[in-house]
Each structure stands twice: as structure tokens, then as C-alpha cells.
A and B are shown apart, each in its own frame.
Chain A
Amino acid sequence: MRISYVTYLPDQEIPVYDFVVQRKLVKYYTRETMAAMAAMAALYPDRKLDEDTPFFYATGELEMMAFYIEACQKMAGRHTRFSPELFLKELVPQISPLTQFKQMRNMTQCFVSIEYGLRGDNAALLRSGSGMLYEAMLCPGNRPVLIGAGRLYADNRVEVGFAEVLPSELEGHPLLGKDFEPVDFFRTHQPA
């Protein structure tokens, strides 16, 4: 198993342009996606991946709250109670299609797939580390599989990990069926 793991502190800038070819898409990235690009670059410095490589990714919660917090803070100075009129007049203009993309929980996986041309078997999970491991273990054919997970915290800290594994390596893994934060798998298995 080969593993990469990165973490960025709340105020730490992620030099995402150092890691991507599809630079126009960066505007759609969440902070988790940016960190994912850094972690992928660490795992695949030569960027060589078979397009049929299966890829299973488990994301965490939270970045979507940044939008709600920011929007409500802007309204709060002038209004004290929510109303449909207030929503339409003050909040809707702040919602852009970019916001919606950033709320969709499969986006990090999709952007990594676009960046690396991954077109094989796949699944996107939410905080389901066991599901990520089962997907990789049960994937047809004993070929290398890419697994990954990320988590964005409420204070803007982010961590992301990836691993290239063989399905047979996960047979009987003690975390199968257990409830655990998926990124913990990469943090605890990363090389010293």
C-alpha cells in the first residue's frame, strides 16, 4: 500500500496551482479539493495513472456552512427575523452556481478524476470509512485501486489522504464494518 497524507492549518494557503493542469476549474474547488490535489501530487508525482483505475472517495462534512454563515452575517445588520421576502431579496443574490457546486459532496472526487483522467469504477461516500474499504476490497479484479478521504473542519483546517491499494490487501481489515472517520485511515497509516 502506498499512502499520501496532507494537512493544512486554518490560515495556511494551499498552493493548488502548483499541483494542477486544469487550472480553469480551480474556481470551483473547495478547500478540501485543493488539499486533495496536493495529496494526489504527492502520491503520483509523475501523474501516471491507468484511466480504468477504480477510485473510491469518502468526504467529510462542513464546508457548506461557510456559505450560510457568511450570507446570514451580511443580512444580520439590517434584519432580525427571517422571512421569504428577506430570503429572496438579500440571500438569493449571494447564491451563485459555484456555491451549489461546492455543496455537492461528490465534487472532490469528480475534480480529482478530471485532473487525472480517472474513468473507472467509482463511488463517493460521506463519512463512511468502512464503506470506502469495502468498495476497494470488493472491486472486481485484483488490480490497484485508489482510495481517498478528506475532512474540512469548522475552523478551516483540512486534511486529505490517498492510498493505492490492492483489493486483497484489505481482506479481513479490522476497520471493515466499523464506524470511523475515513481520513483517520490515512493519517494513521502514513509513513513515519
Chain B
Amino acid sequence: MAIVITGIGVQSPLGCTLQEAMQHVARGTRCVSDIESFDASGFPMKAAGEVRSEGRVVHTPSDVDRKIFFLNRALEQLEQATGFRERYAPAELVMNMGCGVDYVDIERFFNNEEFLLPPFSELPAHHKTDAQIRELARLLDIRGGCHVFVAACVASTQAMGLSLRMLRRGTHRAAITGGSESMISHINYIGFFLLGAMAPGASPATACKPFDRLRRGTILGEGALTMLLERSEYARPESILAEIAGYGATMDAFAITDPEPSAARLARAIELALEDAGIPPDQIDCAHLHGTGTLKNDPAEYLALRKVFGERASTLPVYSLKGQMGHLIGSCGAMEMLGVIHTLQHQEVLPTVNFSEPDPEVPLNVIQGEPLSLGVRYVLKLNSAFGGQNTAFVIKKYEP
């Protein structure tokens, strides 16, 4: 019995259908530009990877929580692609979803003087994440539970991790999982900017440079990716995209913004995922990294690989999707499964967009120019969060 991914719904800077998004993953299309979805005039930075459909940014009114808007659409796509509501009883389904912070429509909150209301008042401008996701689960008649994960950049991968464990144990027969995020709004964008993690630069499309010697930070993105996980004996064989073979999670317990310098706990997460998958390190064919383009993340990932893979850390092909579409925070890990699936389906590691100059402190085998063709059975996927949480997955090419 294996736990397999059998369908995907996607709303992303790369596109709003799975076909469109996968095409842009393969082409390396740059999908970051100046913010269009709200008036960011006067902002010290405006670069963002906004959700696009056929190249055009998807606009929503300010009283819509974009992450819920995209999640709703990605769930609808997933239902259409997999028919999970017809194939499973409501109690057999669980929803585990990664997400970001609550959205407050600051314009409405101010203009309607909601800030003057007494405690416990209904605040129409405050869009509560949990309540909205729970409502989406109710509308889909998912009755096996709805669980929302909020560990920043590993929120969606923690949600996938619990889904894996649930299906293995048999508490549920199928899990709807993934993540949705949008921090492309007044307060959340500026707040993230003030953390100092954003990449400056005149050209938004090239600002985020994972693993590059000239990397200066990351760029915010947004989007939703939902996936159906099933036990292989219940799955339609022709729909299987990949197998989730192993999962590991650890905590740095070091600092809130910086990774632990030795990367010991990130390395431990990799070891746990390998143990869970039942394979030694040399079975891993390539690694899809968190690759934020920040000064401290990228060296930490190299050090973690070095601890687990030894000298091979410098030859193992690696990849990051963030140069293309930005950092999707609460949905990044789930969205980056698109890159993993591309690698498994096409047996190649893609070039990392915006990487051009190797960094001696991050001596990774980052692919440049043309995709690297190679036989791939196992992909390692890493993500790490503000706060110190790490996750690692081993994703396998499904072999019945």
C-alpha cells in the first residue's frame, strides 16, 4: 500500500489550470512583476508573484480574502478532476490545509469605523481564516475533519505530513490537502517587507535569485494548490501523479528569523524522511529545496545536505521554483510539488530561474541553461519556516 497524489487543483502565478501551470514550470516563465491587484503606489517595494490566468493578474475586490478565493477555486478544480465527492463517503474524507494569517480589509475597517466597536463585535472587515476554510469544507460535505495549519512557510507541508500519516493508519480513506496564501495586501505586504527578507532590485522578475552569489532576499507570491491523497488500493491507477514515500519534521529552536547555523535539525528532518521512506541517502536522485534566495536560508540547506549526503551534496542536482513565482509562504511547499511532479514525469531537473553566479559558500549543483536529464525514482523536497520549523519529504515515482 502506498500513499499517492491523484489530482491537483491550482491557482498560481504560473497559471490557473494544472496544464497551464505545468507548461510555465517547464518553460521557466518569470511570473513576478509589480503589484497590480491593489494600489501599491508609494510602496517602497512593489514586486510580487500574483495569481495569473493566461498571463493576466486575477483581480478581486478588496472585501475578498484572496487566499480563500483561490482556495475555493482550487478545491472546485480538484473535485472536477478527481470526483472525490462521488467516490468517497463524507466521513471518509478529511481536509488538512496550510494557510497564512487572517486578512483584514483595512480600507473597510477604517471607513466603517469597525475599530470603534466594543470587544466581541462582529467585524466584517476581519476575514477569519479558520472559519472560512471550515465553511469550504462544509460546502464540500467533508465530514472527517477540517484542520488548518499555520506554521508559515511549512504550513502546507505540515498539512501534507498529517495527511500522509492519517492515510497510512487508515483513519481516513482520502485527504484533501495543500495550502493557500496571499499576503498581497496593504498590511501584510508591508509587514513582510519590514521583516527585511524581501529582495531589493529594479527588476521584479529577476529580484529573487535562489542560491546565487548576488542573492539579496525573496519576493512574496500568492496562490493555492490543493491535492487529493489516496491509498493506492483506492486510487484510479491512471490518475496517480506521484507517491509520498516519507516525511520528517523538526524544529530548530534557535531563533525566529534565522535558521540554526549548523543546520543540524534540518538535516535531522531529512534523515527522518529517509527512514520513513525506508531508503538510504544514496537512493535520492535530486533535491527540490526551499531555496528562498535569502542570505541565510540557502547556506543552511547546503549544510544540511552536506551532513546527510557528505561529498555528494555538491553533485546532487538541486532546484528551486521561487525565482519564477516568489515565495508563497503558507502554500509554498504544496505549490512546489509542481516542480517535483515535473521532475518525476519528465525525468529531468529544471534550471533554477534567476540563478547565474555560483556562491562559493553554497556549492550546490544548481542546474543552469538546459534541463538535466537523468533517471529519477526519488526526489527530496525541503521547506523551512520563519520560527524554525523544518519539513522534508521523499517523493517517489509511482511503481505499481
Contacts and interface: CB of A to CB of B under 8 A. Distances in A.
A134 B145 contact: yes
A138 B147 contact: no
Interface stretch (A97-105, A158-166, A184-192): A97-105
Given A104-B152, A113-B251, A135-B162, A126 B144 contact: no
Contact of A105 (B150, B248, B249): B150
Interface in A115-165: 116-128, 130-131, 134-135, 138-140, 153-156
| Residues of B contacting A: mostly | mixed
A72 interface: yes
Q: How large is the interface on B (under 10, 10 to 19, 20 to 34, 35 or more residues)?
A: 35 or more
Given A101-B256, A124-B151, A106 B99 contact: no
Given A85-B42, A87-B106, A114-B253, A155 B120 contact: yes
Interface in B292-320: none
B101 A104 contact: yes
Given A68-B115, A76-B115, A134-B171, A128 B166 contact: no
B194 A96 contact: yes
B387 A128 contact: no
Contacts of A117: 253
A118 B43 CA distance: 39
Given A134-B162, A155-B120, A177-B91, 12 more contacts: A59-B150, A68-B109, A87-B106, A96-B194, A104-B386, A110-B253, A119-B268, A121-B250, A124-B151, A124-B387, A125-B148, A126-B148
Interface of A: 28, 51, 55, 59, 61, 64-65, 68-69, 72-73, 75-76, 81-82, 84-85, 87-88, 91-92, 95-97, 99-101, 103-107, 109-111, 113-114, 116-128, 130-131, 134-135, 138-140, 153-156, 176-179
- What 3 A-B pairs have minimum CB-CB distances, sorted nearest first? A131-B147, A110-B387, A105-B150
A176 B144 CA distance: 9
